[in-house]
Structure 1
Amino acid sequence: MQIITQTLTTPLTKTAKLTGYVLDNTAEIDENRVRPAVVICPGGGYAFVSQREGQAIANQMNAIGLQAFVLDYSCTPTHFPAQLAELATAVKVIREHANEWHVDPNKIIAMGFSAGGHLAGSLATMWNQPVLKDLGFNPEEIRPNALAIGYPVITSGEKAHRGSFDHLLGENPSAELLEQVSLEKQVSADTPQTFMWQTYEDQAVPVDNTIMFAQALRDHGVNCEYHMFPHGPHGLALASAETAANEDQIVPAVQQWVGLFKTWVTTNVMD
């Protein structure tokens, strides 16, 4: 395995870091093998980037057979759309290095958790919108081929995780800006196929967020696999002792999301 670190220069920032966990090819199997890639955006309410939702999840993605990358993106006081530009740049860089990093450039998954799920979902819904075109991005270079999100922040409306939007947008954002970052309103037929999960008991980000997003995907004919687990708090990551901040975050039933994702990605992305 190669561990690759890239500092990303975007039209708005120069501080984001992309860390890649890249599986090597071997003569025993196939020296020319290419794999799908996943870009992981940890959560943290746009106030910080959670370490619990980074490398440990990348390791699980490697085990599935994906080239895994973790994005350490900018947080407050840096505001939207800087983070979106950083993720777009990460996808662009992975495509540019596809041969070197043994990546299939047509199979890049944006993955995120909590506020990182909002970031991944923002790229999935805005990759061809003016917000990124106006920054000089070519939509086809930054388009994710699939989206995978866990307990994501989605809506800026009544069921919002208000702290995430305060950090993302700053003080007194306009109604137009709040509408722009409310992802259930940004879904279109161009949004890629999606895998997502959340727990019913999540008290930080109401489960209404994923329900709204799933309904919007269905309304636009976008394929979606959605799992609502009955028990567990917010921020579960792998829901195991490896990533738990406390005992409440060890939830064996939720640990199966990785296996469910493996089946989904094998069936819908790898084929």
Structure 2
Amino acid sequence: MRFFLFLISLSLFSSPILSAQEVTPLWPEGKIPNSKGLTLKHIEERERITQVSSPNMLSFFPPKEEQNGSSILILPSGGYHHLTYNLGGIQLAKWFNTQGITAFVLLYRLPTSPDLIISENGPIQDTQRALKLIRLNAEKWHLDVNKVGVFGASAGGHLASTIATHDDDLSKINDNLDSYKFKPNFMILVSPVISLGDYTHKGSLGNFLGEHATSENIHEYSNEFHVTKNTPPTILFHAQNDPTVNPMNSLLFYEQMMKHEVKGSLHIFPKGKHNIGIYNASSLTDEWKTICTKWLKEINIIK
């Protein structure tokens, strides 16, 4: 199938989404998997999307002379209840652009959507499809297919780590993207939800699994149990005093990385609560961006 990149409609003129250079729909019309076929409205308030009418990907390109071939897919946070797409997406994309990295912000279906047949599969399918689309368009966008990463904070971190640790391809719809790789080459996790067990963020658990929150599914999506030697290099940032997502989530994931010899780095800041992001009041916490850049250079994602 051919995918058309189109400029954002003037009806979004008052929205920060307009700052994206391109918008790419994830699925051909009428072929969205795991859908009941309902017509949904786009619901948004205070730069928080609570219902996605059509999943898509916002593209942010650095100047051509600064582009280094690496790219990253940003999964906005919001506890699987909403997408904080501006502060937790667009502003991060602009920062990645300053590092020469092409960035994409994913507006994925939330598991609370009434249109989904299997609620938890929706965000997984959209993320897998987005990573395939990036690789499909790599030549046109001047990207290296082996330098495609994923960024996730809070519940976005759970989604990112799910994609990186689970092998089942739920995004196949019998088109030319079926054969493309969806696994990221590297991963950046900030205050991530990893476990759905003892240390979970209950809101994320409830929204993600809902009535499917069986012991089997809780184990299946507690991603510390699914780290293998094939898990991509990962850097984690967390605050010790995070009252929302227990830092044990990051520690559990990193412990398994160590056991399976996965390249990576873990940084626990003494302060920062659940506010580690593009703008931070604490100068120490704000160092996460500097550390992140140096780590990306160390693993040869950027030069």
Q: TM-score interval w.r.t. the shorter chain?
A: 0.7 to 0.9
Indicate the SS of the match to 1:35: coil
- State the one-letter code of the partner of 1:229: F
Q: CA deviation at 1:175?
A: 1.4
CA RMSD of aligned residues (A): 2.1
1:1-271 aligned within 5 A: 3-9=21-27, 10-12=32-34, 15-26=54-65, 34-50=68-84, 51-78=86-113, 79-126=119-166, 129-130=167-168, 132=170, 141-240=181-280, 250-268=281-299, 269-270=301-302
Change (3 A) 1:38 1:172: closer
Q: CA deviation at 1:204?
A: 0.4
Q: CA deviation at 1:207?
A: 0.6
How far apart, in 1, do the equivalents of 2:242 and 2:80 lie? 18
How far apart, in 1, do the equivalents of 2:294 and 2:88 lie? 21
Q: Which residue of 1 aligns with 2:45?
A: none
Matched residues, number: 255
- State the one-letter code of the partner of 2:26: L
Q: CA deviation at 1:82?
A: 1.1
Change (3 A) 1:7 1:134: closer
Cα pair 1:58 1:68 within 8 Å, conserved:
yes
Q: CA deviation at 1:134?
A: 7.4
Flag structure 2 segments of 5+ consecutive residues without an equivalent.
Answer: 1-18, 36-52, 114-118
Cα pair 2:135 2:180 within 8 Å, conserved:
no
Q: CA deviation at 1:215?
A: 0.2
Q: CA deviation at 1:76?
A: 3.6
Q: Which range is displaced more, 130-139 or 102-111?
A: 130-139
Q: CA deviation at 1:15?
A: 2.0
- State the one-letter code of the partner of 1:260: I
Provide TM-score, normalisation by structure 1: 0.87
Q: Which residue of 2 aligns with 1:244?
A: none
Q: CA deviation at 1:25?
A: 2.1
Deviations 1:86-120 (A, max 9, x none): 11111100101111111111100111100001111
Indicate the SS of the match to 2:21: strand
How far apart, in 2, do the equivalents of 1:141 and 1:94 lie? 10
Q: Which range is displaced more, 150-159 or 96-105?
A: 96-105
Cα pair 1:2 1:24 within 8 Å, conserved:
no
How far apart, in 2, do the equivalents of 1:93 and 1:134 lie? 12
Change (3 A) 1:180 1:139: farther
- State the one-letter code of the partner of 1:75: L
How far apart, in 1, do the equivalents of 2:111 and 2:184 lie? 25
Change (3 A) 1:139 1:233: farther
Deviations 1:146-192 (A, max 9, x none): 01110000001111101101101112522111111100011111110
Cα pair 2:111 2:123 within 8 Å, conserved:
no
Deviations 1:234-270 (A, max 9, x none): 1331243xxxxxxxxx222111111111011112023
What's the % identity of the aligned pairs? 27
How far apart, in 1, do the equivalents of 2:165 and 2:96 lie? 23
Change (3 A) 1:21 1:172: closer
How far apart, in 1, do the equivalents of 2:22 and 2:128 lie? 18
Cα pair 1:189 1:220 within 8 Å, conserved:
yes
Cα pair 2:60 2:93 within 8 Å, conserved:
yes
- State the one-letter code of the partner of 1:20: S
How far apart, in 1, do the equivalents of 2:102 and 2:178 lie? 23
